């Protein structure tokens, strides 16, 4: 069974003593304190469960985003010949200009 921390026990006892009735015995106060401890423990369990669920959802969404990123194809650059064609045309233009003006 889950062990309850000293801090939780002290908080539970403080709450139980804070709501203590005038004719209430120590045993009754102790039982109330134990009930409060169980309530705190149950609350912490539920909080941890919700936290785990949120973490699972967050991890699943991150994984989905990574998968989406991996499936996106980067387009390959087209027109590898264009720079070479422009270079050749510029040299042809330069040579023809040189011979026409020479």
Residue pLDDT, tens place only, 74-100: 667 677 788 888 999 999 999 998 888
Residue 12's Cβ-count burial label (10 Å; 0-12, 13-18, 19+) is: buried
Residue pLDDT, tens place only, 14-47: 888 888 888 888 899 889 899 989 998 899 999 9
């Amino acid at each position: 069974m889950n062990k309850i921390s000293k801090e939780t026990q002290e908080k539970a006892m403080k709450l139980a003593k804070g709501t203590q009735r005038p004719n209430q015995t120590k045993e009754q106060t102790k039982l109330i304190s134990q009930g409060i401890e169980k309530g705190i423990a149950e609350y912490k369990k539920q909080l941890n469960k919700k936290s785990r669920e949120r973490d699972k959802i967050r991890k699943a969404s991150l994984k989905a985003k990574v998968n989406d990123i991996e499936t996106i194809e980067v387009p390959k650059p087209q027109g590898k010949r264009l720079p070479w064609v422009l270079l050749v045309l510029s040299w042809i233009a330069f040579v023809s200009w040189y011979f026409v003006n020479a």
